[in-house]
Amino acid sequence: MNSWWWYLTRSTGIVAALLSVAALMWGFYFSSRNMGQRLKANWWLALHNWLGGSALVFTALHMLVSFLDSETGLRLVDLVWPNDVAGWEIGWGVIAFWLFCLVVLPSVARIRRRLPRSLWHAVHLLAIPAVVLMAVHSLQAGYDADARAFTRVFALVVGLGMYPLSVRVLSVLHRRRTAAT
């Protein structure tokens, strides 16, 4: 059973990473309003919300399972606060988790409605550093990060992600240009 905690730690981490990247891509695509007629805006948004929530859930699962695995030597405090004993390989992941919480929790409809939109949006953009820190954590602490399959999937995801990112950036630039005229 001990080994299964270890396998699940790795697999939940991988799935949480993929979900968070997908949520980010969906978010970029949705916010650029450039998604064509076939899939409606509410489909993108609903799925973006769902993916973001799933990513947070799987991240929490990943942290829980890694804690339950007696061989990782992680203590409860290591999951909550970056520290020297666990090292920065874990610490970046912990910070990424807190950033994800800041991104997801205020976006729950009840809370979001009470926040001024610009504040909510500024906090929501923390998703970007969150995903970057998560990638750093996966490369530094990830047991599977050495595997060739991992580096190939990583490269593929980064490559695929360039499209929604550029769509978003271009739409922002376009809006600024039209607003300036």
Partner 1 sequence: MSRPIDPLLDPRRNPRTPSGSARPAARHSGQGRALPPPLPPSGATARPTGAAGASPRVPQRPAGKRKGPARGSKIASLAVSISTTLGLAALFAQQDTTSAAATDPLLDTTATGVTPTSAAVTAGTTSPATVVTLDPASTGSTVAPTPTTAAASGGIVDGTYLGTPSTNKWGTVQVQAVYSGGSLVDVQILSYPDRDRKSVAINQRSLPSMINDAISIQSSDVAHISGATYTWKSYKVSLQSAIDAARSASGLA
Partner 2 sequence: MSVTAGLHHVEMVMGTAVSIDVLDADDPELIDDLVRWFHRVDAVFSPYRADSVVSRIGLGDLAEAVAGAGDMVAEVLDVLHACEEMKRLTDGVFDPWAVQAPTGGRFDPSGYVKGWSVESAAARLEARGCRRFSINAGGDIVVRGRGVDDGAWRVGIRHPHHSQALAAVVGLVGPLAIATSGSYERGAHVVDPRDGLTANSIASATVIGPSLAEADAFATTLYVMGLDGLAWLSLQEGYTGCVITHDLQMLSTDAFDAHLVA
Query: Per-residue contact track with partner 1, 3 to 42, x per CB under 8 A?
Result: xx-xxx-xxx-xx--xx--x-----------------xxx
Provide DSSP, 67-134.
HH-GGG---HHHHHS--TTT-HHHHHHHHHHHHHHHHHGGGSHHHHTTS-HHHHHHHHTTHHHHHHHH
Q: Which does 12 bind (CB under 5 to 8 A by kind): partner 1, partner 2, none?
A: partner 1
Chosen residue from 34, 54, 72, 171 binding partner 2 by CB under 8 A: 72
Chosen residue from 46, 105, 155, 170 binding partner 1 by CB under 8 A: 46
Report the residue number, 7 or 163, with the smaller CB distance to partner 2.
Answer: 7
Neighbours of 107 (CB within 10 A): 18
Matching residue, tokens 């390989």: 89
- Tell me which residues touch partner 2 (CB under 8 A): 2-3, 6, 71-73, 84-85, 87, 141, 143, 146-148
